[in-house]
Every structure is written in structure tokens, then in C-alpha cells.
Amino acid sequence: MQTLTQLWDLLNRLNRFSFKVNADNESVTGWQGKGQGLIKRRASGETEVSQPESGAIVETIERGYYYVSADRKVPMHNQYLWQFKGDYIRLTHLRLGWDKPVFLFDIIENRYDELVTRQSHQCAADNYDASFVLSPDSLAMQWRIQGPKKREVLDYIYSV
């Protein structure tokens, strides 16, 4: 059983990430490779509580490198806002800044006690979806991106 409270606790402890990008033959982006980096967090309210209050937030700022090939690395940066809403956690992308948030999706517990997205995120012609697996000290998050020019899977591991 994986719960939103367990995910919230983990979000408040994450320090680093790694990821691997795979694109199938139909994807024209050419994205293949892996990356890693560190996470800086900012949170509202108490972070060590058994039940977070609705409205609590955690901002995660990811900085690292994407290794396109063995000899070529590219700096990368992501910024997310996670909001605890009681029966779901909202994920928003802040890459464009706090004044231009991009809503991605709500994470809910389904009837099988799994954490899933309530709906996928549509960006132009591309559909973004994610799945989540929690461990005591890590979060595995798999992004699936499907569109006319994209067929990619990004496997992220966030850890304490």
C-alpha cells in the first residue's frame, strides 16, 4: 500500500536524483541518455508530521547534468511545486517562474492503493503521464511522453 502521506514524507527528505531517457524509433527528438543531480527543497509548515495539513507545499529545485553521450554533458534544471490537498497531491512545474506555473497533474490513491495521476498532462500535441513507486528512502517516478514526434520514457529515481 502506498499513500499520499508516505509520498509527502518522502518529498520532504529527498536530496538527489538520477534518470535515464529512452526514446523508441518513432521519436524524432533523439533523446537518449542519463542524468543526475542534487535537489534543494523549500517547504511550508512542519515537515515532520504524521498527517500534513491541506495547503502545505514543498518546492523542489533540481540541478544537475544530462549526459547525452559519454563525452558530452548538458546542464539541466527543473523546479516543481508539490501541494498537499488532502485527498491528492498537486504537481506544478515552475520552470518559467512562480508567476507562470504550469499545472502538470494531481496524484491520487486509486482503489488498488497505488499512486497514479488523476489525468495526464497535455502540452501542445504531446501527452505526459507518470507512475510512482515508493520505497522507504526513494521515489521511482516514470514519465511517459507520447505525441506525433515523441515516444519517450524517463525513469527518475529520487532518493534521500
pLDDT (tens digit, 9 = 90+) per residue, 19-52?
Answer: 999 877 766 776 788 999 999 998 876 555 567 8
Q: What is the pLDDT of residues 112-159, one digit of tens each?
A: 888 989 888 888 888 999 999 999 999 999 999 898 888 889 999 999
Q: Which amino acid is at 69?
A: S
Instruction: Report residue 123 as a C-alpha cell.
Output: 502540452
103 lies in which domain range? 4-159
Instruction: Report residue 28 as a C-alpha cell.
Output: 524524432
- The total domain count for the chain is 1
Note the pTM of the prediction, 2 decimals. Answer: 0.88
Q: Which amino acid is at 143?
A: W
**Domain containing 48 — which CATH number?**
2.40.128.20
